[in-house]
Structure 1
Amino acid sequence: METKLKELKNVRAENCVTIILNTHRTLPDNEKDAIQLKNLIKEAETKLLAVCQQKTAEKLTAKIHDLAATINHRHNLESLILFVNENVSEFVRLPISVEDRVVVGNRFAMRDLIRGLHNQTNYYVLVLNKDEARLIEASNDKVVKECGFPFPFQNQLSQTSFKAEPSDAGRIRNLTSEFFNQVDKVVNKVHKDNPLPILISTDEQNYHDYVRIVDKPGNFFPEFLSRSRQTESDHAIVADAWELVQNLKRKQNNDRKTDLQTAVSANKFISDTTEIFHAIKHGRVQTLFVEENLFQPAVIKNDTVVYVSEDTNNSTEMIDDIYDELIDLNMDFGGDVVFLPKESLTKFNGFAAMTRY
């Protein structure tokens, strides 16, 4: 998804059409998705006829219909986005809810794709006990793959440790520690090629013993998935892991909101949209904070952002969503964005910026 974001984000051309809609994962609900998409294509045609010649509008509308015909709605997730212009024709499925809408402009509407990327978490689950280690790559609540050789990684020292007498408890601990050290080294080799955060799944004693010996503690989530799960399926493990990872992500988002509150105290924030626009152009904005599903059409006149209503959509100067525009511009300047739930930024009218200085 990140590669797709970079490709589409850099597109600048006339009549870029973005169709965004909520979809459904299961029958019979996803049978309605094709009907809703057809309605939005009709809306896209109307918008195209308002801003370009009829021949161009008809050509692009036909191209959208051709793309829609390739979509198997039985594979839908929570949402679907179509990107079409003279040279582009592709769609992306996302695991997030969106607001159904059609955007026509000189660039694609990237906000939901950016939000989808922020809501997509790729990670490893290291399933560990004293005899074996498994490594599973996951994306949100789905298994990407269970890593192969050298996984599952067996404890070749275990036979020796099992033969040890109870009086050799210290020796058993040393052998376990050595096995965990070997596991850490092979995990680091996988992590080097594909650096994702790692969630450990094991019992409490093993967790504390393992984190004591790791070379790179920053690669691991600060919490672990409890109990031994060596015999469970990878799908069952990841389903439980995702619940924990989601909670950690929520905490991370709340921490970012605290950053904004700190910035307010230090007078390093802006809430006026025009001021934010100017600050971004001067490279002053570090982070934009925006409530999910908050949209605002606007025009820029005399270097000032002026909000307009949806009724102004026949104007070629209108920006369908000024927040999307500013998010995109800020990313060009090396800034980032934090999406927060509805009404999280009420005193900022849903949109604020934290400045670098």
Structure 2
Amino acid sequence: MNSHRTRPDSLKDEVSLKNHIKTVEQRLSADTDKKTRTKLMDRLQRLAEEIDHSHNLDSLILFVNEDMAEFTRLRIPVEDRVVIDDNFATRDLVRALHLQTSYYVLVLSQEKARLIEAMNGDVVRELGDDFPMETTLSHSRYSGEHDSDSHQTNLVDEFFNRVDKQFQKVRNSNPLPLLICGVHENYHRYLNVADDKRGIFDTHLNSQRIGEKAGNIVAEAWKIVKDYTIKRNNERKAELKKAVSANRFLSDSNDIWRAIHAGRVRTLFIEQGLFQPAVLKDNQITYVSEDQRTATNIIDDIYDEMIEANLSFGGDVVFLPKGELTKFNGLGAITRY
């Protein structure tokens, strides 16, 4: 369900959730026995009571079965819906991972370094254990045979190397790409001493912002990362066009379903906002109308099933804006061979 970040709109979220829970109960009454329904509803009600709606983001997803009950908040809008199925509907989580870009911003000067974790234009956190780092080196560590400029160069390079080693420890536990925020000279000097340049953006935020608020820094950093993300998405669309011309493209849902389970699908392409209830019998997909979605033995969204299956076979999924796959009815797949 969609939710709200701020009051007074967030006050409506609790009411909206209660209405969805009523829909769940109605759906369960039609599809399950009393014992199962009671157990699931108890879990769902307890989970709903745990949610503090003052911390909501753009959407809220609750997952409940007989063994677990969890919720997650997303930074993207979703389609308000209730899904009763044997598997969790994870499309919105997958889409969030593709539409949201997580990255680090290393705010760098010759005397200090800060590390910020960001998602899109939002600050996730500013790391506070080993960062910020400040140089502790002094000119006395070098002999008099060097001039002062050479001393300073060595000092800065050694500091940047210490910063890089500390950053690598952070990235090893949570591997995300890195955007450097600093003047042009410092960016290139950092690259020269970095142990592993993979994952560092080949551009940077060229400004001195060591004393600015994290939110202001990330707002500017996101402009650069967003352009990179758009470029990456355009490259995926180019892959799609190339696959069509090379006859490695499928658009029929049953052909795609069979190819997924044969391990042949590399990438699944789906238009955003596309949902399709269906019957799956004898490995054959049959679409049904929207008003049949709540009937017994109906899969709420066959595309969710395709996404789950393709991910389990090592494939991936790309969500394209509405209209990008019109001639393929919103669905397509690139095959490995």
For the criterion TM > 0.5, the same-fold answer is yes
Residue 145 of structure 1 is matched in structure 2 by: 126
Shift of residue 168 of structure 1? Answer: 6.0
For 2:89 and 2:26, locate their aligned partners in 1 and report how far apart those are by CA, in whole Å: 18
Larger deviation, residues 56-65 vs 330-339: 56-65
For 1:120 and 1:213, locate their aligned partners in 2 and report how far apart those are by CA, in whole Å: 30
Residue 187 of structure 1 is matched in structure 2 by: 167
Residue 226 of structure 2 is matched in structure 1 by: 246
Residue 201 of structure 1 is matched in structure 2 by: 181
Q: Does 1:334 align with 2:303?
A: no
Shift of residue 40 of structure 1? Answer: 1.4
**Counterpart residue type for residue 297 of structure 1:** P
Residue 44 of structure 2 is matched in structure 1 by: 64
**Counterpart residue type for residue 333 of structure 2:** A
Residue 235 of structure 1 is matched in structure 2 by: 215
Residues 288 and 336, structure 1, Cα contact 8 Å, conserved in 2:
yes
For 1:150 and 1:304, locate their aligned partners in 2 and report how far apart those are by CA, in whole Å: 55
SS at match of 1:217: coil
For 1:86 and 1:159, locate their aligned partners in 2 and report how far apart those are by CA, in whole Å: 67
Q: Runs of 4 or more off by more than 4 Å in structure 1?
A: 157-161, 167-175
Q: Does 1:217 align with 2:197?
A: yes
SS at match of 1:64: helix
Segments of 5+ residues of structure 2 without an aligned counterpart are none
* Aligned with 1:261 (options 241, 250, 260): 241
For 2:310 and 2:102, locate their aligned partners in 1 and report how far apart those are by CA, in whole Å: 24
Residues 135 and 152, structure 1, Cα contact 8 Å, conserved in 2:
no
SS at match of 2:324: coil
TM-score by length of 1: 0.85
Shift of residue 304 of structure 1? Answer: 2.1
Larger deviation, residues 54-63 vs 243-252: 54-63
For 1:64 and 1:23, locate their aligned partners in 2 and report how far apart those are by CA, in whole Å: 18
Residue 21 of structure 2 is matched in structure 1 by: 41
Residues 157 and 179, structure 1, Cα contact 8 Å, conserved in 2:
no
Larger deviation, residues 199-208 vs 278-287: 199-208
Question: Residues 148 and 154 of structure 1: is their aligned pair in 2 closer, same or farther, counting only changes over 3 Å?
Answer: farther
- The CA deviation string for residues 232-258 of structure 1, in whole angstroms up to 9 with x for no partner, is 122332233233323322221221111
Larger deviation, residues 169-178 vs 262-271: 169-178
Query: Matches of residues 1-357 of structure 1 in structure 2 within 5 Å?
Result: 21-140=1-120, 141-149=122-130, 151-154=132-135, 156-157=137-138, 172-173=152-153, 175-357=155-337
Shift of residue 182 of structure 1? Answer: 3.8
Shift of residue 175 of structure 1? Answer: 4.7
For 2:167 and 2:136, locate their aligned partners in 1 and report how far apart those are by CA, in whole Å: 14
Residues 211 and 217, structure 1, Cα contact 8 Å, conserved in 2:
yes
For 2:334 and 2:55, locate their aligned partners in 1 and report how far apart those are by CA, in whole Å: 39
SS at match of 2:269: strand
For 1:125 and 1:187, locate their aligned partners in 2 and report how far apart those are by CA, in whole Å: 11
Shift of residue 171 of structure 1? Answer: 6.0
Segments of 5+ residues of structure 1 without an aligned counterpart are 1-20
Question: Residues 342 and 174 of structure 1: is their aligned pair in 2 closer, same or farther, counting only changes over 3 Å?
Answer: same
Residue 10 of structure 1 is matched in structure 2 by: none
- The CA deviation string for residues 279-301 of structure 1, in whole angstroms up to 9 with x for no partner, is 00100001111122210011123
The alignment's C-alpha RMSD in Å is 2.6
**Counterpart residue type for residue 20 of structure 2:** L
SS at match of 1:103: coil
Residues 143 and 234, structure 1, Cα contact 8 Å, conserved in 2:
no
Question: Residues 108 and 147 of structure 1: is their aligned pair in 2 closer, same or farther, counting only changes over 3 Å?
Answer: same
Question: Residues 179 and 71 of structure 1: is their aligned pair in 2 closer, same or farther, counting only changes over 3 Å?
Answer: closer
Question: Residues 194 and 99 of structure 1: is their aligned pair in 2 closer, same or farther, counting only changes over 3 Å?
Answer: closer
For 2:165 and 2:44, locate their aligned partners in 1 and report how far apart those are by CA, in whole Å: 50
SS at match of 2:21: helix
Residues 116 and 123, structure 2, Cα contact 8 Å, conserved in 1:
no
For 1:60 and 1:135, locate their aligned partners in 2 and report how far apart those are by CA, in whole Å: 43
Question: Residues 105 and 194 of structure 1: is their aligned pair in 2 closer, same or farther, counting only changes over 3 Å?
Answer: closer
Percent pairwise identity: 50
